[in-house]
């Protein structure tokens, strides 16, 4: 069974709701999926998974610093994440408040690790985005994103 982890930071619960939804949808697609707060995630934990999905609230247009801290500390495993699949999602306070820039900043780090990321030609192109409390549209986006990532993971890591 392919192994996934959904890592998130959330102070007021919005990003956590998305993380819970993505982890549940990954499980529905047949993956084992762990759900972890970023503060209880060590860089070495990332080595254990085929798929790593990272979520953050938007802070000043980018990821929150605890997420950046994990990614910066993951340098000690540089090269060991290559070929794994990655994804990202974000929650902002405002429409056009930086969800896409935050998601792309996370994805850039994953690409620099040599990981594989998948876009979406229909929905949230770079990864699920919510404005405030995730509404039905945002939660559906989480479901669809998780299903796509799971299909890719099951194909590459059967």
Q: Which residues of the shown chain bind ligand FMN in the complex (CB under 6 A)? A: 10-16, 57-61, 91-94, 97-98, 132
Residue nearest to ligand FMN (CB): 97
Closer by beta carbon to ligand FMN, 13 or else 83 = 13
For 17, list phi and psi in degrees, rounded to 5.
-60, -40
Which CA distances in Å does 56 have to 1, 15, 51, 100, 142? Answer: 27, 6, 17, 11, 14
Closer by beta carbon to ligand FMN, 57 or else 127 = 57
Strands 116-117 and 3-8: unpaired
Give min distance, CB of 105 to ligand FMN, in A.
Answer: 12
Give min distance, CB of 123 to ligand FMN, in A.
Answer: 19
Give min distance, CB of 36 to ligand FMN, in A.
Answer: 15
End-to-end CA, the chain: 7
């Amino acid at each position: 069974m392919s192994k996934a982890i959904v890592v998130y930071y959330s102070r007021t619960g919005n990003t956590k709701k998305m993380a819970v939804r993505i982890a549940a949808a990954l499980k529905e697609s047949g993956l084992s999926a762990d759900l972890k707060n970023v503060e209880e995630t060590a860089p070495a934990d990332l080595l254990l998974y085929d798929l790593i999905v990272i979520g953050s609230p938007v802070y000043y247009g980018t990821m929150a610093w605890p997420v950046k801290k994990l990614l910066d500390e993951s340098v000690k495993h540089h090269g060991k994440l290559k070929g794994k699949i990655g994804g990202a999602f974000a929650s902002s306070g405002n429409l056009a408040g930086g969800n896409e820039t935050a998601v792309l900043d996370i994805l850039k780090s994953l690409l620099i690790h040599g990981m594989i990321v998948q876009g979406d030609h229909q929905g949230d192109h770079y990864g699920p985005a919510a404005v405030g409390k995730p509404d039905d549209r945002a939660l559906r986006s989480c479901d669809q994103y998780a299903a796509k990532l799971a299909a890719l993971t099951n194909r590459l890591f059967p």
